[in-house]
Amino acid sequence: MLPEPLIAHSVRDGEVVPHFLCAADHPWLRSLLDEFAAAADRPEHHLHERLAHHTTGCRDRRVLAAVHVLWRLVRRPAPHDPRPAAVRALVFEEAASSPGDPAIVLATVATKLGRSVAAVREALFADLPRERPVGTLPAGLTHVALALRVNLALAQALLYRSTGLRVALEGNARAVVRHARLQGLLCYVESGSVPVLAISGPYSLFRRTLVYGRALSTLLPQLAWCRRFALEATCVLAGQQRVLRLRTGIPIPPAKPPAAYDSRLEARFARDLRRIAPEWDVVREPTPIAAGGTLVFPDFALHHRTDGRSWLVEIAGFWTPEYVTRKLERLRAARLDNLILCIDEARRCSAAELPPTARVVRYRRRVDAAAVAALLGD
C-alpha cells in the first residue's frame, strides 16, 4: 500500500482529488521502466542512485508513487553464491576469535572458502537492502499498464485510509456485495431506485476506525466491472477527514472478470431455458431488489420479447440450511409477486417457509427448464 506521503492528491472544499496518471505521463514512466530494466542483476544502490535524478527534490508525488509500485513489482533474483548468511557467520566469528585488521580476517575467510577477498567482501551483505541485486519486472509490463497500476495503488491507498464508503452502482452489484461480505464488511441499502450501498465494518459503529481500510480498498477492482458506479468515502489524511469521490471511468485496471454464473447448475439452466423458450430473454444478474435493509439478487430475470411480461428466477441451491433460511426470509420481505423459486428437494422446505406469493419448482441435481417455462404462462 502506498505510504501517505506518496499519495498524490489535492484538497478542494474538503474533497480529496486524486492526481491520476494519464497519457501525458507516459514518457517519464517509459524512462523509469528503462532504468529498472537496465539495473537488473546489479546491486540495488546503483538503481537508487540512478533514480535519484528522477526523485531527489521531486515535488510530484506521482513519480515517487510510480517508483514505489515498480519496486513492489520487481521479482526476487536468484540467491547469491556464496550464501551471504554463511559468509557473515564465518567472517564475524573469525573477527571475534582473532581481532585485528579486518583485511586479514577477510583474507583468512576467503582462503577457507576458496574464493577471492573481493568475492567475500561482495557476498558479506549481498542479500541486504541496497546491496542485493535488482530483479526483473514482469514480462510485458508497458508504461500504459504501469500507469494503471499506479492509479490503482493511489485510489486504494486513499480507501485504505477510509472509515467506510457509500456506493451507487449498476451491474456487478452481486459480486461487489459478495466480496464485501467475504471481507467481513456490512452492506446496508440506503435508498431506492438506484441502490446505494453503505459499506462499513461492524466496529465502525463505535468510532471512525481505519481497521477496515484494507478490506474496503479491495472493493475497488470489483467496482471497475460495474456498468456504472459512484463511490463516496470518508478518508483520514494528515489527521483531517476528507471526502473521496470516485466514479465510473477512473483509469484503473479491473480485477479478474467476474464469473458469468455462480455454478454449473445455473449455467445449464440458462442454456436449457434459452433453447426451450426462445421468446423470453434470459437476463443474468438483473437489478437487485431492496428488502429489509439489504439487497436481494435474483439469479435471473426473464423478459418476454414482445408483450413486456417479466419474471424473476431464484435458484436456492446446495448451501447450508441457515443460508437457505436467510435467503427465504429476504425473499418473503421483498413480497415479489413475479418470483419463481427453484428449490433443491434435499432442503425439505415446508410450504410455510416459502414466500407465499412465489411459484415453486422443486428440483434434484438439475433445474427442469421446461417446468419453469410452463409457469411463464405461454
Partner 1 sequence: MRLLFDRGTILVHDVPTGIDALALPGVLWDPRVGAARAPAMMHAALGAWLRARRVPFADDVAPAGTGAPAGWKEIGLRPYQSAALCAWNLGGRRGVVVLPTGSGKTRVAQAAMAATRSPALCLVPTRILLDQWVRALADLHDGPVGCLGDGRHEVEAVTVATFESAYRQMARIGNRFELLIVDEAHHFGGGTRDEALEMCVAAARLGLTATPVREEPAATRLERLLGPVVYELGVGDLTGSHLADLDLVTLHLELAPDERAAYDRDVGCFQAVRAHFARLAPRASWQDFARWAARTEAGRRGLEAHRRARRLVAFTRAKRTAVSELLARLPAARVLLFTADNEAAYAVAREHLVMPLTCDIGRRERDAALAAFREGRLRALVSARVLNEGIDVPDADVAIVIGGGLGEREHVQRVGRLLRPRPNKRALVYELLSRRTLEESLARRRRAGLAARAPHRP
**Between 7 and 270, whose beta carbon lies closer to partner 1?**
7
Alpha-carbon distance values, 328 to 137, 296, 351 (Å): 50, 10, 11
Min CB(198)–partner 1 separation in Å: 7
Single-letter amino acid, residue 69? V
The footprint of partner 1 on residues 218-247 (CB under 8 A) is: 238-239
Task: Give the CA count within 13 Å in the CB-facing half-sphere of 220.
Answer: 30
Pick one of 37, 182, 188, 345: the residue that binds partner 1 (CB under 8 A): 188
Locate 8 and state its grid cell: 498524490
The footprint of partner 1 on residues 60-89 (CB under 8 A) is: 85, 88-89
Min CB(202)–partner 1 separation in Å: 5
Residue from 12, 37, 26 nearest 139 by CA: 37
Min CB(188)–partner 1 separation in Å: 4
- Judged by phi (left if over 0) then psi (alpha if -120 to 50, else beta), residue 273 lies in alpha
Q: Are 259 and 287 in contact (CB under 8 A)?
A: no
Q: Are 214 and 160 in contact (CB under 8 A)?
A: yes
The footprint of partner 1 on residues 313-372 (CB under 8 A) is: none
The answer to whether residue 275 forms part of the interface with partner 1 (CB under 8 A) is no
Scanning 138-146, 208-216, 251-259, 295-303 for contacts with partner 1 by CB under 8 A, the matching segment is 208-216
**Between 77 and 286, whose beta carbon lies closer to partner 1?**
77
Pick one of 27, 184, 253, 321: the residue that binds partner 1 (CB under 8 A): 184
Binding string, residues 3-42; x marks residues near partner 1 by CB under 8 A: --x-------------------------------------
Size of the site for partner 1 (CB under 8 A): 36
The three-point CA angle 155-158-160 to 5° equals: 110
Min CB(90)–partner 1 separation in Å: 11
Min CB(20)–partner 1 separation in Å: 20
**Between 97 and 320, whose beta carbon lies closer to partner 1?**
97
Scanning 34-42, 72-80, 193-201, 356-364 for contacts with partner 1 by CB under 8 A, the matching segment is 193-201
Q: How far is the C-alpha of 329 from the C-alpha of 335, rounded, in Å?
A: 10
**Between 51 and 369, whose beta carbon lies closer to partner 1?**
51
Based on its alpha-carbon atoms, the radius of gyration of the chain, rounded to whole angstroms, reads 29
Which 3 state secondary structure label does DSSP give 335?
Answer: coil
The answer to whether residue 186 forms part of the interface with partner 1 (CB under 8 A) is yes
Q: Are 70 and 150 in contact (CB under 8 A)?
A: no
**Between 202 and 278, whose beta carbon lies closer to partner 1?**
202
Q: How far is the C-alpha of 71 from the C-alpha of 18, rounded, in Å?
A: 21
The answer to whether residue 59 forms part of the interface with partner 1 (CB under 8 A) is yes
**Between 16 and 273, whose beta carbon lies closer to partner 1?**
16
Q: How far is the C-alpha of 357 from the C-alpha of 81, rounded, in Å?
A: 73
The footprint of partner 1 on residues 142-181 (CB under 8 A) is: none
Which 3 state secondary structure label does DSSP give 289?
Answer: strand
Q: Quickly list DSSP for 86-139.
A: HHHHHHHHHHHHS-S-HHHHHHHHHHHHTS-HHHHHHHHTTTSTTTSBB-PPPT
Binding string, residues 90-129; x marks residues near partner 1 by CB under 8 A: -xxx-xxx-x--x--x------------------xx-xxx
Min CB(280)–partner 1 separation in Å: 37
Residue 52: burial class (beta carbons within 10 Å; 0-12, 13-18, 19+): exposed
Locate 213 and state its grid cell: 481500510
Min CB(175)–partner 1 separation in Å: 21
**Between 236 and 276, whose beta carbon lies closer to partner 1?**
236
Contact residues for partner 1 (CB under 8 A)?
5, 57, 59, 85, 88-89, 91-93, 95-97, 99, 102, 105, 124-125, 127-129, 184, 186, 188, 198, 200-203, 205-206, 209, 211, 214, 238-239, 293
